[in-house]
């Protein structure tokens, strides 16, 4: 396997000033704008969803709002790097993706029923997947290799800003009984992003010919996610297990097709732990799963068990993104032994977070004191993910096969989105099987669901720890 030769030069890590000055500053603002829009929308949706359900119904499909969005995002992410960047160029790719996202926002804002809202979320997801995947492809194009880790950390940092904007917008509109206006509020952000991209991004990336889309793999992967999501809302246990089995079979079919196809969805070696890429993708996916179960259901748990308003619940849930952002910005310049220690600590922090939430979330008594350990667990969990993610992403770009660099750039977000989708489906299945609140059911059902959810998801950071511990020194030396 021929690997990418554009490795970062040895020596001291570049500072933030180099990334956030001159022409790089304008490029950074444009690249981070797409992530901000995607993340703001995610926080708006999770914050207002309880109000949406109370207005138009559809509690059984609570988790589907996120799942449908992420399924479409997987397709959008694959399209962005393979077709948009190469065929129309970075400058035109962002406005095109933003237009799709705007159409989805309009559908959500006018949805009279949950099925119509889910359609809007699907269209939003197509545009959002394009917007959030484009920066990973652009980092390799517009920045020098030694700035890649900083660029990855910058993208992660946008989640912190979004964790303030999203809950504020969603919570205010929910408390005013105007949840539809929250989707309308995204339109100005879409317009500004399109303008910034047109002004500062290059017209063309290179003279490459766009690679054909791996259609069969995308089809099997998408249907697998939908099967897992259907299992999460099935009313009978045997149907739930049938959906999980179907999803597993479709994933196996996707992997078989991927190995035999010339048009790949992932770079060579992505599913082999003995390859450079396999463990990187596996660790990224496992960390993303812990975030998914938390961000989807924490606002609901806080409102039902701790008596918090939508605005308050949204801001408390955003503590995980705050921890993610602070850790990403702080550790992005780590090298050698410092990075080795930080990477080994990352899954331990995520494990401590899941254990803490399993113990403290069901213990709500309506007081603010009871929320202190919940907030601490959320920040710790976010710090675990933020510590590792920028370095794992930068390393993927470094070790990717030289003839599959675009595939590798797109696959960073594809892996995260797939982990998010299956994590959301599994979280929905656990909550539904262990006591999701329905009309007439009591608080004990919600508490049991929360306890089981976080306890089961402790398996993800444990598996990540087993992968990370022996590989952290190699990652630290390569930084």
Question: Which residue, among 222, 226, 289, has the nearest Cα to 257 in the 3D structure?
Answer: 222
Summarised one tens digit per residue, pLDDT across range 211-221 is 667 888 888 98
Summarised one tens digit per residue, pLDDT across range 353-387 is 999 999 999 887 778 898 999 999 999 999 999 89
Tell me, what's the pLDDT at 26? 79
**Prediction pTM value:** 0.76
Tell me, what's the pLDDT at 13? 58
Summarised one tens digit per residue, pLDDT across range 84-118 is 656 677 777 888 888 899 999 999 988 888 888 99
Domain residue spans in the chain?
23-204+263-478
User: Is a pLDDT exceeding 70 seen at residue 206?
Assistant: no
Helix axis angle, 22-56 to 148-175, nearest 10° = 30
Summarised one tens digit per residue, pLDDT across range 8-61 is 444 455 667 777 777 788 788 878 888 888 878 877 887 788 788 888 877 767
> In this predicted structure, which of 143-152, 280-289, 446-455 has the lowest mean pLDDT?
143-152
Tell me, what's the pLDDT at 437? 47
Q: Mean pLDDT, the chain, as a whole number?
A: 81
CATH number of 23-204+263-478: 1.20.1250.20
**Alpha carbon distance 291, 379 (integer Å):** 11
| 438 φψ region: left (φ > 0), alpha (ψ -120 to 50), beta (else) | beta
Summarised one tens digit per residue, pLDDT across range 223-255 is 888 888 777 666 677 777 888 889 889 989 999
């Amino acid at each position: 396997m021929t690997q990418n030769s554009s490795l970062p030069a040895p020596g001291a890590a570049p500072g933030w000033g180099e990334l956030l000055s001159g022409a790089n500053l304008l490029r950074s603002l444009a690249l981070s704008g797409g992530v901000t829009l995607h993340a703001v929308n995610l926080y708006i949706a999770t914050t207002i969803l309880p109000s949406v359900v109370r207005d138009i119904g559809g509690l059984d499909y609570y988790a589907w709002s996120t799942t449908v969005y992420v399924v479409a995002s997987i397709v959008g992410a694959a399209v962005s790097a393979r077709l948009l960047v190469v065929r129309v160029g970075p400058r035109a790719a962002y406005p095109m993706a933003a237009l799709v996202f705007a159409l989805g926002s309009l559908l959500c804002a006018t949805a009279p029923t949950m099925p119509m809202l889910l359609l809007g979320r699907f269209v939003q997801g197509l545009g959002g997947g394009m917007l959030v995947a484009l920066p990973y492809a652009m980092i390799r194009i517009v920045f020098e290799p030694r700035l890649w880790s900083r660029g990855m950390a910058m993208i992660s940092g946008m989640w912190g800003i979004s964790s303030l904007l999203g809950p504020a917008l969603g919570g205010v509109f929910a408390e005013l009984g105007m949840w539809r206006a929250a989707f309308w509020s995204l339109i100005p952000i879409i317009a500004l992003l399109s303008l910034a991209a047109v002004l500062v991004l290059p017209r063309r990336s290179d003279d490459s010919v766009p690679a054909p889309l791996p259609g069969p793999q995308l089809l099997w992967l998408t249907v697998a996610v939908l099967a897992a999501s259907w299992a999460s809302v099935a009313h009978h246990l045997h149907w739930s297990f049938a959906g999980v089995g179907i999803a597993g079979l479709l994933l196996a079919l996707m992997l078989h097709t991927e190995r035999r196809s010339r048009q790949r969805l992932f770079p060579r070696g992505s599913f082999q732990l003995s390859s450079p890429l396999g463990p990187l993708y596996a660790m990224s996916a496992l960390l993303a799963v812990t975030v998914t179960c938390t961000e989807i259901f924490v606002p609901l748990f806080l409102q039902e068990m701790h008596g918090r308003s939508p605005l308050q619940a949204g801001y408390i849930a955003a503590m995980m993104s705050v921890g993610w952002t602070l850790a990403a910005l702080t550790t992005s310049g780590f090298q050698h032994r410092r990075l080795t220690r930080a990477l080994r600590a990352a899954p331990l922090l995520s494990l401590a977070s899941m254990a803490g939430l399993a113990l403290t979330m069901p213990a709500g008594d309506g007081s603010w004191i009871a929320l202190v350990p919940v907030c601490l667990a959320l920040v710790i969990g976010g710090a675990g993910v933020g510590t590792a993610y920028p370095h794992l992403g930068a390393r993927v770009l470094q070790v990717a096969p030289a003839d599959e660099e675009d595939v590798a750039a797109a696959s960073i977000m594809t892996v995260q989105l797939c982990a998010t989708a299956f994590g959301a489906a599994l979280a929905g299945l656990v909550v539904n099987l262990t006591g999701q609140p329905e009309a007439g059911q009591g608080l004990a059902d919600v508490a049991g669901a929360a306890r089981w959810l976080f306890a089961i998801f402790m398996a993800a950071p444990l598996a990540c720890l087993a992968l990370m511990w022996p590989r952290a020194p190699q990652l630290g030396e390569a930084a």
